[in-house]
């Protein structure tokens, strides 16, 4: 599972469910997930969309209205979708028909895996299905995978942002950024040399376990924060707090999650580091929510840089975040 919860939503009048979308999105964000609705207004739109096999792999839930207009009923659309997407849960809803009537219509078409609700109950029904799906994968071990996957995506965005910044700098600006990056690498090389001398005196493998260094994601974030503090990129300075927030409050916890082990504590499994420090489900929920917010900021920064013009001065690397 990902931080994104993707829904295929079929309704010929999508504006009628705007309030439901807002309510569902707000609740899912509280749990640290991004609700994304891909809306289709007709069976033809659906068939065209689900022909994109990459998208069908990313669908987490399908929502279908009963009355789709032009004499097309929801159970017909569900049957057509089931020809391509076999195993995803479906919420079948209606403004006029009760849930029991929708269940009867689905049963007559031989449709399985269908949740039924009146439109007034739609939010509650969708959130119930969401909770059921999430509980299947929200043990701590899966949560670790979700966090690691999401932060890897942000690492890639940081690289893109730095590449965009580099492309917008003149020769002196490029040299300033490169000098700063090489400074980090040179320091790491010296640290590695010192570390090697120390490790050569090691008496066992445990002394080597923490020897992982070089030009890290943390270093790239320091450079990005420094550049955003320069006058050349002052237009993007508002993103700097998010970069620092990610650097200070996400990276350390990501690193902890990358090196914890699943262990039995009492009657339940927990994630604990080598010192016995335990990370709870509530902590991982808070971490997902923070990552979700900061991911949006990094996406906005990348978009702003993609639309930027080349700066004319060379003051691009005045400092960095500590």
Q: Judge whether 311 and 174 are in contact, CB under 8 Å.
A: no
CATH 3.40.50.2300-classified regions of the chain:
4-137
Tell me: pLDDT of 271 over 80: no
| Amino acid 87: pLDDT | 81
Q: Judge whether 130 and 7 are in contact, CB under 8 Å.
A: no
> 287-320, pLDDT tens digit by residue?
889 999 999 999 999 999 998 644 443 444 445 5
Task: Specify the higher pLDDT residue, 261 or 233.
Answer: 233
| Amino acid 59: pLDDT | 85
Tell me: pLDDT of 144 over 80: no
| Amino acid 185: pLDDT | 87
Give Cα 88 to chain centroid, integer Å.
Answer: 21
Tell me: pLDDT of 108 over 50: yes
pTM: 0.69
Confidence grade of residue 197 (pLDDT, cut at 50, 70, 90): confident
Average pLDDT across the chain, whole number: 84
Instruction: State mean pLDDT over 67-78.
Output: 91
| Amino acid 313: pLDDT | 37
Pairing of strands 114-118, 90-94: parallel
Planar angle of CA 46, 48, 54, nearest 5 degrees = 95
- Topology at the third CATH level for domain 4-137: Rossmann fold (3.40.50)
Helices (H), 200-312: 217-227, 240-249, 251-258, 281-306
| Amino acid 293: pLDDT | 93
| Amino acid 292: pLDDT | 92
């Amino acid at each position: 599972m990902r931080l994104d919860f993707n829904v295929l939503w079929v309704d010929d009048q999508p504006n009628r469910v705007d309030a439901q979308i807002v309510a569902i999105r707000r609740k899912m964000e509280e749990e640290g997930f991004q609700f994304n609705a891909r809306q289709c207004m007709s069976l033809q739109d659906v068939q065209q969309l689900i022909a994109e096999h990459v998208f069908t792999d990313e669908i987490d839930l399908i929502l279908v209205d009963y009355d789709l207009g032009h004499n097309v009923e929801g159970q017909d659309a569900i049957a057509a979708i089931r020809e391509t997407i076999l195993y995803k849960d479906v919420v079948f809803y209606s403004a006029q028909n009760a849930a029991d009537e929708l269940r009867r219509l689905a049963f007559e078409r031989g449709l399985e895996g269908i949740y039924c609700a009146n439109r007034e109950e739609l939010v509650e029904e969708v959130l119930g299905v969401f909770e059921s799906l999430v509980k299947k994968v929200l043990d701590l071990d899966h949560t670790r995978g979700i966090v690691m996957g999401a932060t890897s995506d942000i690492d890639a965005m940081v690289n893109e942002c730095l590449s965009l910044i580099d492309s917008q700098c003149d020769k002196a600006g490029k040299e300033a950024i490169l000098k700063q990056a090489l400074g980090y690498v040179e320091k790491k090389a010296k640290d590695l040399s010192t570390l090697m001398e120390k490790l050569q005196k090691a008496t066992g493998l445990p002394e080597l376990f923490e020897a992982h260094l070089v030009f890290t994601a943390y270093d790239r974030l320091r450079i990005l924060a420094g550049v955003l503090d320069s006058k050349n990129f002052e237009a993007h300075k508002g993103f700097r707090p998010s970069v620092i927030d990610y650097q200070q409050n996400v990276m350390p916890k990501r690193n902890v999650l990358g090196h914890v082990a699943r262990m039995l504590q009492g009657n339940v499994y927990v994630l604990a580091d080598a010192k016995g420090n335990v990370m709870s489900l509530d902590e991982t929920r808070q971490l997902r929510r923070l990552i979700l917010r900061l991911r949006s900021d990094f996406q906005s920064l990348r978009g702003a840089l993609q639309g930027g013009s080349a700066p004319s001065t060379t003051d691009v690397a005045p400092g960095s975040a500590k």
